[in-house]
């Protein structure tokens, strides 16, 4: 049994090596992505581990099947960029890491919101310019706000607990409600109801075709004037040009975006010597009421270790037993 891992980062390497030593199973790590040029590197391996939010190669599972691969383990949660039917038809099991660290993402989302509420981006710029005046950038207290949480899985529930700790009123919407939260009467019945009541909207949901551009001009118009929007989920949930317009006219007071619809050419790349070609993204970066981070909400030591270990444990389990606790299909 042996595995190959693509997009293996330096911070993951110690965990790959530790798992390899503990299990006496070869794990080949590759820095580059899994694409049409690297697919042939999977020949002779029982399992493939991948971590990329962008597009995987066309007919990838057909090729992996021919190469003898039995299991495809992603080191993250979302499978929206995988053709699961193709994997199934080729007899390849797909696993994910459903909970590498819900607290990491929940904590980060709250941290970003707190910066927006206290205008730290603006004050950082003003201090750098030696302008030490306060007005007119008065802040807001979280305990006085209503936070609308979309998605109440592990991450959403962790965020709810943190917001409650601040004393905020929390409401939620999920197409698959949590029974305990349901008993507490936390849920509203629709997106529209959540939009109308929330001072803050934070998204902790998967991306589905139905929710593509959930945040757009029409839905933003249903929100309170001066709402804050937090997205640590998926970039495709937001129509960015519509959000930019609302940020400029004041309908949206601020946004914290850890993900962006067209992030693959940008995030986790050193582009300091290059001019950004994405004009929408460039316009977003110019706004003082926006915090953009390069998909790092998950990025803690605990999460990185769990992503590597759980993905490898899952691949091993599938090869040995034909199944795993983290099976997607």
Per the annotation, the verdict on 295 as an active-site residue is yes
| Active-site option among 154, 157, 234, 261 | 234
Task: Give the DSSP letter of residue 56.
Answer: P
Strands 169-173 and 71-74: unpaired
- Look at the alpha carbons of 22, 28, 31, 35 in this order and tell me if their dihedral is positive or negative: negative
| Active-site option among 154, 157, 204, 295 | 295
What are the DSSP calls for 85-134, one per residue? HHHHHTT-EEE--TTS-HHHHHHHHHHHHHHHHTTHHHHHHHHHTT----
Rounded to whole angstroms, the Cα distance separating 113 from 185 reads 25
Tokens of 105: 């993402």
| Active-site option among 9, 263, 275, 283 | 263
Per the annotation, the verdict on 17 as an active-site residue is no
Per the annotation, the verdict on 263 as an active-site residue is yes
Rounded to whole angstroms, the Cα distance separating 86 from 73 reads 15
Catalytically active residues, by annotation: 234, 263, 295
């Amino acid at each position: 049994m042996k595995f190959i891992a693509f997009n293996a980062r330096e911070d993951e390497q110690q965990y790959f090596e530790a798992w390899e030593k503990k299990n006496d199973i070869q794990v080949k790590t590759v820095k580059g992505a899994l694409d049409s040029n690297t697919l042939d590197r999977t020949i002779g391996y029982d399992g493939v581990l991948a971590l990329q939010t962008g597009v995987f190669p066309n007919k990838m599972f057909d090729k992996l099947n021919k190469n003898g691969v039995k299991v495809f383990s992603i080191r993250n949660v979302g499978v929206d960029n995988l053709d699961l039917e193709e994997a199934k038809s080729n007899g390849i099991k797909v696993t994910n890491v459903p909970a590498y660290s819900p607290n990491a993402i929940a904590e980060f989302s709250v941290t970003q919101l707190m910066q927006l509420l206290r205008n730290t981006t603006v004050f950082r710029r003003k201090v750098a310019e030696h302008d030490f005046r306060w007005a007119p950038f008065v802040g807001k207290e979280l305990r006085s706000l209503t936070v609308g949480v979309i998605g109440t899985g592990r991450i959403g529930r962790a965020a709810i607990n943190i917001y409650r700790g601040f004393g905020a009123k929390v409401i939620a919407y999920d197409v698959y409600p949590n029974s305990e939260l349901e008993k507490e009467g936390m849920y509203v019945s629709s997106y529209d109801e959540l939009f109308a009541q929330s001072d803050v909207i934070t998204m902790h949901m998967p991306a589905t075709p139905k929710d593509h551009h959930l945040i757009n001009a029409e839905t933003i118009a249903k929100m309170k004037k001066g709402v804050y929007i937090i997205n640590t989920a998926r970039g495709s949930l937001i129509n960015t040009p519509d959000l930019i317009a609302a940020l400029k006219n004041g309908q949206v007071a601020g946004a914290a975006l850890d993900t962006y619809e067209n992030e693959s050419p940008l995030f986790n790349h050193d582009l300091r010597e290059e001019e950004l070609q994405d004009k929408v993204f460039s316009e977003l970066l110019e706004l003082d009421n926006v915090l953009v981070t390069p998909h790092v909400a998950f990025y803690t030591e605990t999460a990185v270790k769990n992503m590597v270990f759980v993905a490898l444990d899952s691949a091993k389990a599938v090869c040995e037993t034909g199944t795993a606790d983290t099976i997607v299909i």
